[in-house]
């Protein structure tokens, strides 16, 4: 059975801190790893990673994949209160299935 594990489950930081969120996986027929940000209800797409060692970057957010060790990290630098959300990691395997982790709840306090 495909499995995605995120850590930590929750995290509280102060504005300006840098955070690293972790995602490890065990899947067959790996195709991609995706990160989503969920505020309130709708997850919004952040990154899709398919190749090891290539960093994806968008503003203060960046992510990298290690297909040998089967994990990915999501970094957020200079955190802001608007970064408070649940961050979901999902792994694509087979033709269309995404398996989601339980998420990391990030709280950024002023």
Which residues in 70-99 contact another protein (CB under 8 A)? Answer: 88, 90, 92, 95-99
For another protein, which is the closer residue by CB, 10 or 77?
Answer: 10
Cβ-proximal residues to 64 (8 Å cutoff; 6+ apart), any chain: 49, 53, 54, 55, 56, 72, 73
Which residues in 15-74 contact another protein (CB under 8 A)? Answer: 31-32, 34, 36, 40-45, 48
**102 in contact with another protein (CB under 8 A):** yes
Q: Which of 24, 85, 103, 106 binds another protein (CB under 8 A)?
A: 103
Residue pair 11/20 in contact (Cβ under 8 Å)? The answer is no
Neighbours of 101 (CB within 10 A): 21
What 3-state DSSP class applies to 17?
Answer: coil
Q: What's the rounded Cα separation, in Å, for the pair 82 and 87? A: 13
For another protein, which is the closer residue by CB, 4 or 76?
Answer: 4
Judged by the rule CB under 8 A, the positions of this chain that interact with another protein are 4, 31-32, 34, 36, 40-45, 48, 88, 90, 92, 95-103
């Amino acid at each position: 059975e495909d499995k995605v594990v995120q850590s930590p489950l929750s995290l509280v930081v102060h504005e300006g801190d840098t955070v690293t969120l972790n995602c490890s996986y065990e899947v067959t027929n790996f195709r991609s790893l995706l990160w989503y940000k969920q505020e309130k209800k709708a997850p919004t797409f952040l990154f899709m990673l398919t190749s090891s060692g290539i960093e994806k970057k968008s503003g203060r957010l960046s992510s990298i994949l290690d297909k040998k060790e089967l994990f990915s990290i999501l970094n957020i630098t200079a955190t802001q209160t608007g970064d408070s959300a649940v961050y979901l990691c999902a792994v694509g395997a087979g033709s269309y299935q995404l398996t989601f982790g339980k998420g990391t709840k990030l709280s950024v306090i002023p």
